[in-house]
């Protein structure tokens, strides 16, 4: 420790550093993120009172903070920290339902454009290999490609192979979001646009949309599955309306007033996550007035 008249974030950081001494603009100290013997770390006050850290050996700031037991917010005055958090929140991509609807329309139209058939051959080959080619006839999916005008939240998707797009609908049957599926070996296999709503949404075939929109007779059962590709598989030639949640954890939240008086068939994976989702969905469906809930 050395005597100093610092205050705020600089003082808090300084108290945790070893070998600190004054420099022209602030302090230098031993960097806690590597075996430092040369006082490679600088600590200077910013114009707004923030603490500015820099390791000249190249250690990233988050590694330095972790070694000190601090968070990024600790580098800012309390008011400045709130402003920084608000600024970061405002800078997050926001993917709105209107943008989802526009993307879906363009992605679907691309599958109907004969001039794009050759360019989309890898997507169609992926679907063919998985026995999902017939989903084209029911207009269940769309395709995106490099060169399209895409929202910043998904601008890189074509480059990572996430080209297969399926829309997600809210409880009223309105397009609210989309999910993309990689047609190659990219991970993760599926992506949502950052800033979009996922909870409470479902994939839906044509009759599934009629259920959501309240125009399918209540006597008609509805099947609820999980996952994008399983949705496509179930919807091909299904005699009953098909809905699917984008992940088992969203199962209960996806149910709405449309279950009242209806038989709900749960087609979730037979694993721990699927069992938990089925239990939660069954309880929620009966609470919403479902006539019967069964699992297949």
Tens of pLDDT along 226-256?
999 999 999 998 999 999 999 998 999 999 9
Mean pLDDT estimate for the chain: 90
Query: How is the chain split among helix, strand and coil, in percent rounded to 5?
Result: 40, 20, 40
Average pLDDT rounded to a whole number, residues 260-281: 94
- What are the structure tokens assigned to 85, written together? 């958090």
Across 48-59, b (16+ Cβ under 10 Å) vs e yields ebbbbbebeeeb
The two structure tokens encoding residue 242: 């098909």
Residue that wins the pLDDT comparison between 83 and 139: 139
How many separate helices (H) and strands (E) can be counted in the chain?
8, 13
CA distances, 69 to each of 74, 109, 131, 259 (Å):
10, 52, 52, 50
Neighbours of 33 (CB within 10 A): 22
Give the span between the Cα atoms of 73 and 285, in whole angstroms: 43
Alpha-carbon dihedral sign for residues 134, 137, 142, 146: positive
Residue 44, classified by CB atoms within 10 Å of its CB into exposed (0-12), middle (13-18) or buried (19+), is middle
Look at 47-61, 110-124, 159-173, 278-292 and tell me which has the smallest mean pLDDT.
47-61
Q: CA 66 → CA 1, 78, 79, distances in Å? A: 20, 20, 22
- For residues 119-140, average pLDDT: 96
pTM, whole model, 2 decimals? 0.69
User: pLDDT tens digit string along 65-96?
Assistant: 989 999 888 898 765 555 565 566 555 568 99
Whether residue 234 contacts residue 244, with contact meaning beta carbons closer than 8 Å, is answered with yes
């Amino acid at each position: 420790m050395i005597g100093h008249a610092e205050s705020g974030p600089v003082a808090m950081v300084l108290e945790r550093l070893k070998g600190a001494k004054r420099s022209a603009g602030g302090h230098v100290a031993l960097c806690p993120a590597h075996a430092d013997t040369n006082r490679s770390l600088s600590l200077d006050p910013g114009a707004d009172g923030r603490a500015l850290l820099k390791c000249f050996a190249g250690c990233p700031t988050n590694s330095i903070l972790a070694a000190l037991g601090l968070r990024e917010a600790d580098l800012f005055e309390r008011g400045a920290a709130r402003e920084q958090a608000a600024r970061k929140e405002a800078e997050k991509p926001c993917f709105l339902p209107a943008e989802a609807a526009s993307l879906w329309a363009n992605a679907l139209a691309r599958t109907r454009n004969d001039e794009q058939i050759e360019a989309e051959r890898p997507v169609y080959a992926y679907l063919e290999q998985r026995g999902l080619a017939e989903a084209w006839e029911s207009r269940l999916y769309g395709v995106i490609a490099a060169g399209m005008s895409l929202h910043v939240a998904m601008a890189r998707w074509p480059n990572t192979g996430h080209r297969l797009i399926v829309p997600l609908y809210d409880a009223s049957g309105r397009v609210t979001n989309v999910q993309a599926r990689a047609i190659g070996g990219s991970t993760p296999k599926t992506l949502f646009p950052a800033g979009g709503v996922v909870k409470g949404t479902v994939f839906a075939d044509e009759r599934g949309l009629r259920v959501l929109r309240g125009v399918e007779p209540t006597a008609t059962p509805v099947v609820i599955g999980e996952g994008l590709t399983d949705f496509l598989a179930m919807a091909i030639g299904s005699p009953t309306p098909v809905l699917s949640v984008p992940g088992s954890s969203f199962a209960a939240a996806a149910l709405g007033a449309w279950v009242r008086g209806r038989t709900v068939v749960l087609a979730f994976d037979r694993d721990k996550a699927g069992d938990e989702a089925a239990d939660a969905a069954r309880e929620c469906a009966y609470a919403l007035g479902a006539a019967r809930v069964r699992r297949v």
